[in-house]
Structure 1
Amino acid sequence: MATIREVSKHAQVSVATVSRVVNGNKWVAEATRQRVLEAMAELGYQPNSFARSLATNKSETIGMVVGDLSGPFFGEMMQYAEQVVRDAGKHLIITSGHSTLDEERDAVQFLLKRRCDALILHLDLMPDAEIVELSQRQSTPIILVNRLVPDLAEQCVYLDNEAGGFLATRHLLERGHRRIACVTGPLYKADARARLAGYRRALDSVGLDYDEQLVVEGDFLEPGGEVAVAALLARQVAFSAVVVGNDLMAIGAINGFKQRGLNIPGDVSLVGYDDVLMAGYLEPPLTTVRVPVAEFGSEAGRLALKLGEGIDCEIHNRFLPTLIERGSTADLAPQPSPTAA
């Protein structure tokens, strides 16, 4: 592999001039720059990216922490953030917080040690005050996704999950349902708590009391939906519809009801959340709340690039969900609500 000295000799310039070209220094004549670039191409010279990052104080990378490396939500968010970053000629380094506070802290420190130009963080457990302190202590810009920290509002790209929970529940209320159960996500997650708050607001809007017996905490995973159905039915409380915290649990819930001989939506209407790819292909197709994951993944990537370059920019940080009505919900039928056998 060619060295920088060989490139300087071939281009008949100093080593310092080659270094300026490699580091993008604008104080190099265009004819000289082209001569150096041609020499680099002819000799197959590959600049040392670490040395270049020391010289420019830029690593040409954006770091990203997500809660989980699997699942349709994180997959789509990572895909669109990475696309924006790659289109800018940079790379996205991704690691996971694994839904524990220690792992979240470790993941953030891992990326900071790699001198990423900016960080995109999806953090469930790190307290707001700690995130604010981290942002103030580090020169590396921080962008938060799917979470609003008021003191860092201009660095947050988030979904109004409370509005999503309200939309899902209001849809069922409009179809005549009054005994509406709710399967939440894990309530240590801010988005799960916000969706539950939306459910409660929708009930309150029509004068219905909140009933803890109709609420089961789930885990955002498909088997958790089946477990939640079993728990609801074991309580022997009447309900005609269910709001489920995400589509994966909704799939599990549908299976759980079917295994017990209950029909969707004939016996139980059901609304999911996320609008994952398979939602429209289920039997019946799933009524769900659509989350614009692609849009806020892209926006997080764009913001990270701008702030990483020290450029102030206008931010579209609050995204709104929409209801997608399909076949898993129906008007309340004039028949008894399901209870445990």
Structure 2
Amino acid sequence: MATMKDIAKLAGVSSSTVSHVINQSRYVSEEITERVNRAAQELNYTPSALARSLKMNRTKTFGMLVTTSTNPFYGEVVKGVERSCYQQGYNLILCNTEGDHQRMQDSINTLLQKRVDGMILMCSSMEGERIDIFEKYPDIPVVVMDWGPILFTSDKIQDNSLSGGYMAAKHLIDCGHRDIGCITGPLNRYQAMMRYEGFKRALNEAGLPFNPKWIVESNFECDGGYDAFNRIYASGELPTAIFACNDMMAMGVMNAANEKGLSVPNDFSLMGYDDIHIAQFMSPALTTIHQPKYRLGQAAVDTLLKRLAGETREVDVVQFEPMLVERKTVATLKK
């Protein structure tokens, strides 16, 4: 493998001049720059990323931890992170925690050993965990996505789930619904609780009662929505509308309803949350609350870069506002 010394010998210049040309660290005349680049091309020279990272004390690599889920929401956020990394000249190492505390700790240790420049955590099943190891690496910025209160120093990217839950229930109320059920996510997770709190706020403002048989806690997965609808169905009369607190559970609801010969929105209306890509292709297309997934990922990368550049000193919280997307699963009732 060719070295800078080989290039210098072929080009008839010093090794330091070759270094300045390749690293663009100092002005070198066009004539000498052309000679060096031509020599490097003839020798098939490839700069060592490892050597450069040691010299610059930067690896141009970010690490990201995610929890395994069938929910494509996570994949769409990761896509935003990966594309932003690429545009900024960074690599991304993706680790899967599978919801396991020890695996999360091991993955963090591995990323730190690989000397990543920053880390993104998107594994809300670990919400409330204290990760002491970050205190030993104060120069490595950390961004947390989709978590509640944080027990370690970190910037934070999140959507306004309280507003989104309120918006979902308010839309159903505005469409004339008075008997409304809710399939929540795990209520020990901050974002799930906030969506439910927003839902309750809208019903309280409208003076509508809560039927406990129509409020079911579930798991943010398709099977959770499927099982939750079956519990509501078995309890007796159906509500006229159900707010499933993410699109995956809404898909499970539609599947369970179809098995019972029920259709949406003819027999009951259905609202989702997240606006995953496939929501628009469901039959009927799902009315839902949109989260800007690509922008969430992009904001995580931008926040790390700003922290590395020393542009921010205080802990930063970036919050995105959700948006209602009306499609075909909510019927308007006569008032």
TM-score by length of 1: 0.86
Matched, 1:307 2:307: yes
Matched, 1:287 2:279: no
Distance 1:322 1:262 in 2: 28
Gapped regions of structure 1 (runs ≥ 5): 335-341
Q: Which residue of 1 aligns with 2:331?
A: 330
Matches within 5 A, 1:69-108: 71-108=71-108
Q: Which residue of 2 aligns with 1:193?
A: 193
**Bigger shift: 1-10 or 266-275?**
1-10
Equivalent pair of 2:275/2:289 in contact (CA under 8 Å): yes
Instruction: Note the C-alpha offset of 1:17.
Output: 5.0
Change (3 A) 1:77 1:311: same
Secondary structure of the residue that 1:265 maps to in structure 2?
coil
Q: Which residue of 2 aligns with 1:338?
A: none
Secondary structure of the residue that 2:273 maps to in structure 1?
strand
Change (3 A) 1:111 1:34: farther
TM-score by length of 2: 0.87
Q: Which residue of 2 aligns with 1:121?
A: 121
Secondary structure of the residue that 1:186 maps to in structure 2?
coil
Matches within 5 A, 1:69-218: 71-128=71-128, 130=130, 134=134, 137-147=137-147, 149=149, 155-218=155-218
Distance 2:320 2:226 in 1: 30
Gapped regions of structure 2 (runs ≥ 5): none
Instruction: Note the C-alpha offset of 1:14.
Output: 4.3
Distance 2:24 2:329 in 1: 60
Instruction: Note the C-alpha offset of 1:97.
Output: 2.3
Distance 2:67 2:283 in 1: 29
Identical-residue share of aligned pairs (%): 33
RMSD: 2.9
User: Aligned letter for 1:243?
Assistant: F
Instruction: Note the C-alpha offset of 1:312.
Output: 3.8
Secondary structure of the residue that 1:170 maps to in structure 2?
helix
Instruction: Note the C-alpha offset of 1:273.
Output: 0.9
User: Aligned letter for 1:11?
Assistant: A
Q: Which residue of 1 aligns with 2:239?
A: 239
Number of residue pairs matched? 333
Instruction: Note the C-alpha offset of 1:218.
Output: 2.0
User: Aligned letter for 2:252?
Assistant: G
Distance 2:11 2:100 in 1: 54
Distance 2:155 2:217 in 1: 30
Distance 1:219 1:128 in 2: 18
Distance 1:105 1:277 in 2: 32
Distance 2:148 2:10 in 1: 54
Matched, 1:41 2:33: no
Instruction: Note the C-alpha offset of 1:66.
Output: 1.9
Instruction: Note the C-alpha offset of 1:292.
Output: 0.8
Instruction: Note the C-alpha offset of 1:168.
Output: 0.9
Equivalent pair of 1:135/1:142 in contact (CA under 8 Å): no
Equivalent pair of 2:130/2:151 in contact (CA under 8 Å): no
